[in-house]
Chain A
Amino acid sequence: MFRKIIRFGFVFIITALLGILALWVPLNAITQIPNIRIQNRVESKSGLTVKEIADFLDEKVLSEVAFSADGEETEVKGRSVVPTAVNEDYFALQKFNLNGKNFTESDITDKSTKAIISETLARKLFFNKNAVGKTFEMNSKVYTVCAVFKEYEDIISRCSADGKDRVFIPYTGMDYAKLTVDTVMYSNTNDNIKITLLCSEDYSGTNLIQKNKVLQNFINILKAEAFILLATVVIKIIILITRQVIQLFKKEIKNRYFAEIIGNHKLYIFSRVLAVIAAAALLAVVFIVSDFEIYVLPYYMAEDNIFDIPHYISKIIEASQNGNSILIAGDTYYNNLYTLSFVISLFSAILFAFMIIVMYKQILCALKKLRKTGQK
């Protein structure tokens, strides 16, 4: 008995941990990945220069478009950093929690030497994350920190980062004429489709809105798993109650009329019927409130037969081969974060489902034993 309790406790802890992991991983990624489209420069391609894209944005009067261009690695106070030229929308478009003031349009026009750095770099350079107002020299220019952003320090986020300390500067604040744009980010508006066309040759596009929906799938799958568990338990209870009522009728139907039985056991039958209706209503409400929608990327969608398994497999292989063959330049944080979160979420969701079945079987065995001992 004691051994069985220990075994059940162990299974319960593992299931709970897997559940937490399966829920936390996609949630963590969704809170970080912005709902935008992103174009990453293919490393072997020449790409657009900062001047070209800045002129293009001015000419077409596009809003909510950000770009970044990594400069050559340099040293600040003996530490190697990457100066990254960005425009004023770069931080506004992403889900960064800035401590300080973001770049403005006037910073671009005034060629200001402001900088935004991460808390980690702030601690390295100034011994404190509150580095707003502090100054440093980089490439013979003195920059003032106007904001510091918080980096996520969990293991998945750390593995997704490329380990480079970036110093973000308004692009006019450094020699930008020959810099190549590595990343272009833009909101999903009709006008911004022009960016997709502009970047179609040298850049690899990713729709982060779709990626977020895919990650949301894992949360929905977890909800569905929990709902199935709840539904099984509730249906079991309903069957149990119904059986009790049927047995009562079977016992008494030989000597009494149907209406008489109901009259004699009013409270008993009424409470049982109420319990069954309440259980069924609970299930229905949970089902209606919960969102079990599964989003499939249009790329993977089978055209005529949704059960065309070979089609899905071939598409997955094709996508992974394409993904592996494209080496992208600049900051690949979101791509890495999505891939890592996807893989971990997938495995943890499968394992969680398996553990739920194991736990459910153990509960059933325990209930059976309890019933047997009760009968004895």
Chain B
Amino acid sequence: MKKKSKLKKAIIIFGITFLAVVAVLTYFAGTIEYMLLPRVSVANIESGQISGEPVTEQGVCLVPNMSVVESDGIAYIFILYPREDNTAYIEEVNVQVRDRNNMYCEIKLDPTFTSYSVVYETSRDLVNGDKVVVEAN
């Protein structure tokens, strides 16, 4: 009899602890997810050319050198789709590298993306479509 009541007590304590842990984790789920997201630094895509001449062609712009990744002759950048909660989604966009200097890279990209920001630094690995937190400059 005594053993049974002890077992009952242990099960109740375990159940309450489990529910409490689940409740705490649920309440802080958003915070935990936010903490685990990669932190990225971004820069605006600026219209212009390395030579300083006025832009005559659509989609020609300047981005920081660090933001362009090249692989097997194909270059791409990560552009940012901001959300309201200080997070954003990133998308890999192929670009054509035309010229570069120490700081900037002159690229040609789809004109629809020229008003977006571009990622130039990250705290964790990035893959197309990742959710990220934008760090204040």
- Chain B residue total in the interface (Cβ 8 A): 19
Is A75 an interface residue, CB under 8 A from the partner?
A: yes
Q: Which residues of B contact A134 (CB under 8 A)?
A: 69-71
Give the interface residue-count category, chain A: 10 to 19
Instruction: Select A128's contact among B64, B65, B127, beta carbons within 8 Å.
Output: B127
B95 lies within 8 A of chain A by Cβ: no
- Among A119-127, A172-180, A255-263, A310-318, the stretch that binds chain B is A119-127
A-B contact count (CB 8 A): 40
Using an 8 Å CB-CB cutoff, how does the interface string of A142-157 with B read, 1 for contact, 0 for none? 0000000000000000
Secondary structure of the A side of the interface?
mixed
Min Cβ gap B133→A in Å is 15
Q: In this assembly, does A163 line the interface, its C-beta being within 8 Å of a C-beta of chain B?
A: no
| A78:B64 contact, CB within 8 angstroms | yes
Tell me if B102 and A75 are in contact (CB < 8 A).
yes
**Is A24 located at the chain interface by the 8 A CB criterion?**
no
Listed residue (A77, A78, A129) with the most chain B CB atoms within 10 angstroms of its CB: A77
Q: Is the CB of B71 within 8 A of A133?
A: yes
A182–B124 Cα distance when bound, in Å, is: 32
Complex interface: chain A residues within 8 A of B71 (CB):
126, 133-135
Q: List CB contacts (< 8 Å) of B67-122 with chain A.
A: 68-72, 78, 100, 102-103, 119, 121-122
Partner of B124, one of A75, A123, A125, A133: A123
A126 lies within 8 A of B121 (CB): no
Q: Is the CB of A136 within 8 A of B102?
A: no
Among A75, A126, A134, A137, find the residue whose CB has the most chain B CB atoms closer than 10 A.
Answer: A126
Residues of A within 8 A of B78 (CB): 127
**Contact between B102 and A127 (Cβ–Cβ < 8 Å)?**
no
Determine if A79 is an interface residue (Cβ-Cβ < 8 Å): yes
Q: Report how far A78 CA is from B102 CA in the complex, Å.
A: 7
Known: A133-B72, A134-B71, A135-B71. A79 touches B124 (CB 8 A): no
Do residues A78 and B65 form an inter-chain contact, with CB atoms below 8 A? yes
User: In the complex the two chains form, is A78's CB within 8 Å of B66's CB?
Assistant: yes
How many Å lie between the Cα of A137 and that of B70 in the bound state?
A: 10
Chain B contacts to A: CB under 8 angstroms: 64-66, 68-72, 78, 100, 102-103, 119, 121-122, 124-127
- CB<8 Å pairs between A and B, sample of 22: A77-B65, A77-B68, A78-B66, A78-B102, A78-B103, A79-B66, A123-B125, A125-B66, A125-B69, A126-B69, A127-B69, A127-B119, A127-B122, A127-B126, A128-B126, A128-B127, A133-B71, A133-B72, A134-B70, A134-B71, A135-B70, A137-B100
